[in-house]
Amino acid sequence: MEGKLGIWEILLIVGIALLLFGPSKFATLGKSLGEGLRNFKSAMKHDDKSDEEEEKKS
């Protein structure tokens, strides 16, 4: 099972992160990560739309 994380590995990583950051900081970190991913996906969609508009113009 190379390159794939199983449930136990994910739980171990989450447990270590909780120990390092604490519950309140961990929640804030998760929220920030989610917002960052949302912004990234939005930017990628916007970039795709821009590419399509440029192709239509030419």
- The domain in which residue 37 lies consists of 23-58
Q: How high is the pLDDT of residue 23?
A: 85
Calculate the average pLDDT of the chain.
Answer: 83
Residue 4 lies in a domain: no
Alpha-carbon dihedral angle through residues 19, 23, 29, 32, given to the nearest 10 degrees: 170
| Number of domains composing the chain | 1
Mean pLDDT of all residues in 43-57: 72
Residue 50 lies in a domain: yes
Q: How high is the pLDDT of residue 9?
A: 94
Mean pLDDT of all residues in 25-45: 90
39, pLDDT greater than 90: yes
Could you give the CA distance from residue 26 to residue 33 in angstroms, rounded to a whole number? 10
Could you give the CA distance from residue 30 to residue 26 in angstroms, rounded to a whole number? 6
Residue 38 lies in a domain: yes
58, pLDDT greater than 70: no
